Amino acid sequence: MVLASCQGSPAPDGIILIAVDTLRADRLGLYGHDRPISPVLDAWAEEAVIFEHAQATSPWTLPTFASIFTGRLPSGHGAGGGQKRAVHRRAPLAAGVTTVAERLREAGFATGGFVTNPFLKERFGLSKGFETWDYEHHRPAVPSVARALGWLDDHREEPFFLFLHLIEPHLPYRPPESVAGRFTGPGPHPWEYPILGTIRRSARHDGLTDDHERWISALYDEEVAAVDAALDTLFRHLRETGLDETTLVVFTSDHGEELFDHGGFEHGHTLYQELLHVPLALRGPGIAPRRVEEPVSVADLAPTLLDAVGLEPSPDVAGLSLWPHVVRDRPPPRRPLVSEQTLYGSPRWAVVEWPWKLERIARGRRQRLFHLERDPLERTDRADERPEVARRLSASLDEILARSRAAPRDEAVETPLDSETLEDLRTLGYVE
């Protein structure tokens, strides 16, 4: 039985959470990208609430998705942590931390997840609460959508929560024939694809030319275009079955991708906005389309989804329910938002209190301050110029991290991975 929404608005009969892996917000038309790579999403979002400044809680998959499912920061849920910096010894979600799927299943929802990233395998704990958890390594968007729609048709007469994870545009960048060459052109190309091994070796030795970088950026856009086309099938199905009138659909990403914005490539290694600024849009019953300027966190999604169907969010989460601000035309409060836990290199933390952003780097205990409105590319450190702002944000960061670490949970324990998972990670570029 579906509960009434706490906010007096029509409660959705079902929830679909779509998360596109490695998708930067600024590579979609609805966020201003000038290439026509996302016409389906752009049209769908015309009837959605779009959050202009949604922040990922981490620059890589496991900790951010754990935040999406639990409402906690990485330091509060444990997923992706561990004493060793090795990629293959990352901890799963800490025992005792409740997921949104667990809460929804207890309330009578059918729960199904369709995932393709090895960091979403059951061993990492994010499948808790899902009756169906369908993992296939690097499954393309078209068959992923088809599998998810098969499950949806089986459960459409009952309350449901569907999580659809699409791997493109994650490495190794091999766009399907339907879009290959659309932006890269007919060739000749700097490299053959998939580009994984070649780019890793070349980037490490500074062997990339402007042509390489433009071609790689165009490949990324082709992969986004492939996802966009696949989502057309999902959205048409919702319209044809009438589910679009009763279902809350959420679209987001776990993190972005650095495409040489700061001289690097890929993700997991920094906390620049090209990795942390992700798309976030909600569409469904009782939602009037508009754009929201106030920054929010993906950790807000777990309490938001629960609130939408009348369930009380857990009291020990970092996230804030956005549902009152989605169904009513009022902005969410401005508050400091924290991102943490890099996958590679020195540990880093960031706090955004719009328009200011403070980044802390463990190595050398460095802090840098950026003004995101005047300096969206984060080129100019203003910590010396505005020390009072740096001190205030630093204190906010310490306070939020202390509160996050104090949230009740069992210890997250790192465990070595099996050979199959290691090989899956290797094909995505996580392991040499």
Q: Which residue has the higher pLDDT, 80 or 202?
A: 80
Backbone φ and ψ of 297, nearest 5°: -115, 150
Tokens representing 154 are 């089986």
Short-list 290, 292, 283, 324, CA closest to 306: 324
Q: DSSP secondary structure string, 309-362?
A: TTPPPPTT-S----HHHHHSS-PPPP--EEEE--SSSS-EEEEEETTEEEEEET
How would residue 89 be classed by pLDDT, with cut points 50, 70 and 90?
A: confident
Which residues face 113 on adjacent strands? 133, 163
**Amino acid in position 254:** D
Residue 84 has pLDDT above 70, yes or no: no
Torsion region of 55: left, alpha or beta (phi above 0 gives left; psi -120 to 50 gives alpha): beta
Question: Could you tell me the CA-to-CA distances from 22 to 41, 172, 275 in Å, in that order?
Answer: 16, 12, 8
* 210: three-class secondary structure by DSSP: helix
**Which candidate, 281, 226, 227, 232, places its Cα nearest to that of 46?**
281
Residue 302 has what pLDDT?
Answer: 98
Mean pLDDT, rounded, for 92-102: 93
Burial 285-320 (b: 16+ CB within 10 A, else e): bbbeeeebeebbbbbbbbbbbbbbbebebbebbbbb
R_g of the chain computed on alpha carbons: 20
Q: Is the pLDDT reported for residue 3 higher than 70?
A: no
Ramachandran category for residue 80: left, alpha or beta (phi over 0 → left; psi -120 to 50 → alpha): left
The pTM (predicted TM-score) of the whole model is 0.93
Report whether 289 contacts 55 (CB < 8 A).
no
Q: What are phi and psi of 53, to 5 degrees?
A: -130, 75
Cα–chain-centroid distance for residue 346?
22
- DSSP letter at 11? P
- Band of pLDDT at residue 414, cut at 50, 70 and 90: low
Altogether, the residues listed in the chain come to a count of 432
**Domain extent listing, the chain:** 14-427
Q: For residue range 322-341, what is the model confidence (pLDDT) as tens digits?
A: 999 999 888 899 999 999 99
Average pLDDT, the chain: 90
pLDDT score of 364: 62
Domain 14-427: what homologous superfamily?
Alkaline Phosphatase, subunit A (3.40.720.10)
